Amino acid sequence: MRYIKNIILASATVILLLTACDPDKFLGIKPRGKDVPTEYKHYEGLLTSFDMIKWTLEFNGKLYFPILSDEYVVTGRSFGELGSLMGQQGKECYMYNKAFLLPDDLPSDWGYNGNMYSCNLIINNVMNTDAEEADKLSTQSEARVMRAWYLFRIAQIYLKPYNDSYADSEPGLPIITEANTLQETFERGTMRKLFDFIITEMEESCPHIYNSTAYSFRTEKADAYAMLGHVYHYMNRYDKALEALRLAKKYADEAGSAKFYDLNTMDEATIRRDGIYHFDNIQYMRNIIGFNDCISYYSQYYETTATMYAKPEYYALFGSTDRRQYKYELNDGLYRVCYRDTPMGITSYGLYLTLAECEARAGDMNAAKEVLETLRKYRMPAADAPVPAEIDTKDKLIRFCVEERIRECLGQGLFFFEMKRLWNDPLFADLKAGYGHKVYGTETVYPFTEDNLEVNIPESVLKWNTNWNVN
């Protein structure tokens, strides 16, 4: 339980599985009725578990995280509903109070870091099993990528946006590489140390991961390189991101895993109801670190707070024939968010949008347009899919790529990460100036400031890590 009370919150099931893995430390007693990881199939089974890919980002049973993004607005009436349904924390979150959590609130993102415990168990032990070397190395490499991805997602929320200018002075997150439930003290290290670790783990592991697997919840080579590309992209290292993302697309093409549902074949009701609720309008890569295409991440959030609206400035980015606009329905003069999914893993459209922006930043406008148009032809009639002729410079195309991400992902709550990534990008200074939340009808505005780029680490975590002098 000590491990749980600290940063890594391993599930009870996994802890029970592990009590006999180290005979010297755990007396070598095999629990009756429990599978103890000793063979290759046991470690592979850990990777194939649905719990290993699940990520909900809820806070104390309430899904506040999407509200941190700039994508939503409320009316005076729905602002009151936000408070009654999600407590004062929901309202404080909307008002950009970075200390919105109560002392006992435990965000699930810290809890799911228990998955890193399972990753460490695999990484530390799988190479000692009796199996083919290539199989063992692929499994170990997959676990290394997953561990790095978990760290990256936590960093995106609780740390400042990555910047080389302060990476050596800003605190990072603990890097834990051993499956040790008795560890009680965790040092945060620096931001640079953390991101160097994430990058190294992925760079060393990606080449060894198989590019095809029979399991739904596993990471393929294409997914792994896409994750690496996303990390570099968030760090604003666009040249390195481009290298990784090109490889991701290459391997996805070889495996036939990057697919898209065609919204042109769906009626409005299907896009708004079935297509969104089940996320059937978008085909993920077949195997991802995240939910499958028919799993709803934030169903509770949207079912209980149905009066969240798309920010009008962002909704206005849709063209008249863009069928993605049917994800939203008009209500009280605003467009109610009907979207019910927030993927935290790799999606096909995420790969394409990120690749397109990196191609544009590298100056290859034709390549960037080709990637964008491949996606857009599934979202609108073919005649409207080409990038508009007025997007005729590198800077305009970069801007268009970001706007395309808004059109594709509006309502997911992921724009918070984009706000952080683009905070110091002069191309988006005007967009930054407009970040904030508005209460329509009262005209109250809560601006998003630089201080909101990082969320306070919860007190429920800090009380077990008193050496972290933060918040």
Give residue-wise pLDDT tens across range 35-49: 457 899 988 888 877
2-55+107-209, which class in CATH?
Answer: mainly alpha
| Angle at CA of residue 419, ends 415 and 423, nearest 5° | 165
Q: What is the pLDDT of residue 112?
A: 54
Q: Band of the pLDDT at 87, cuts 50, 70, 90? A: confident
Closest alpha carbon to 470 in 5, 1, 3, 7: 7
| Torsion angle defined by CA atoms of residues 211, 213, 215 and 216, in that order, rounded to the nearest 10 degrees | 40
Does the structure show a pLDDT above 80 at 34?
no
Does the structure show a pLDDT above 80 at 59?
no
Q: pLDDT per residue over 340-381, tens digit each?
A: 556 667 788 889 999 999 999 999 999 999 999 999 999 999
- One-letter amino acid of 123: I
Does the structure show a pLDDT above 60 at 446?
yes
β pairing state of 436-440 and 72-75: parallel
Closest alpha carbon to 339 in 384, 279, 251, 383: 279
* Least confident interval from 56-60, 76-80, 181-185, 287-291: 287-291
Closest alpha carbon to 257 in 190, 346, 194: 346
Decide if 197 contacts 175 (C-beta within 8 A). yes
Does the structure show a pLDDT above 90 at 456?
no
339 compared with 407, residue with greater pLDDT: 407
Does the structure show a pLDDT above 60 at 435?
yes
Q: pLDDT per residue over 254-267, tens digit each?
A: 887 777 878 898 88
Decide if 414 contacts 342 (C-beta within 8 A). yes
Stated as kind and residue range, the H or E segment containing 195 is: helix 191-205
User: For the whole model, what pTM was predicted?
Assistant: 0.87
Decide if 378 contacts 261 (C-beta within 8 A). yes
Q: Band of the pLDDT at 159, cuts 50, 70, 90? A: very high
Q: What is the pLDDT of residue 278?
A: 37
Q: What is the pLDDT of residue 54?
A: 57
Q: What is the pLDDT of residue 148?
A: 94
Q: Band of the pLDDT at 157, cuts 50, 70, 90? A: confident
Q: Band of the pLDDT at 269, cuts 50, 70, 90? A: confident
Q: pLDDT per residue over 213-246, tens digit each?
A: 766 667 889 889 999 999 999 999 999 999 999 9
* HEC letters along 330-383: EECCEEEECCCCCCCCCCHHHHHHHHHHHHHHCCCHHHHHHHHHHHHCCCCCHH
Q: Band of the pLDDT at 26, cuts 50, 70, 90? A: very low
Q: What is the pLDDT of residue 31?
A: 39
Does the structure show a pLDDT above 50 at 58?
yes
Q: What is the pLDDT of residue 266?
A: 86
Q: pLDDT per residue over 165-204, tens digit each?
A: 999 999 999 998 988 777 778 889 999 999 999 999 999 9
Percent of the chain with pLDDT over 70: 76
Phi, psi for residue 366 in degrees, rounded to 5: -65, -45
Cα-Cα end-to-end distance for the chain: 25
Cα separation, 170 vs 162, in Å, equals 9
Does the structure show a pLDDT above 80 at 252?
yes
Does the structure show a pLDDT above 70 at 127?
yes
Q: How far is Cα of residue 33 from the mean position of the Cα atoms in its chain?
A: 36
Name the average pLDDT for the chain.
80
Domain boundaries, the chain: 2-55+107-209, 73-106+260-453
Does the structure show a pLDDT above 70 at 132?
yes
Q: What is the pLDDT of residue 44?
A: 86
Closest alpha carbon to 137 in 126, 151, 145, 152: 126
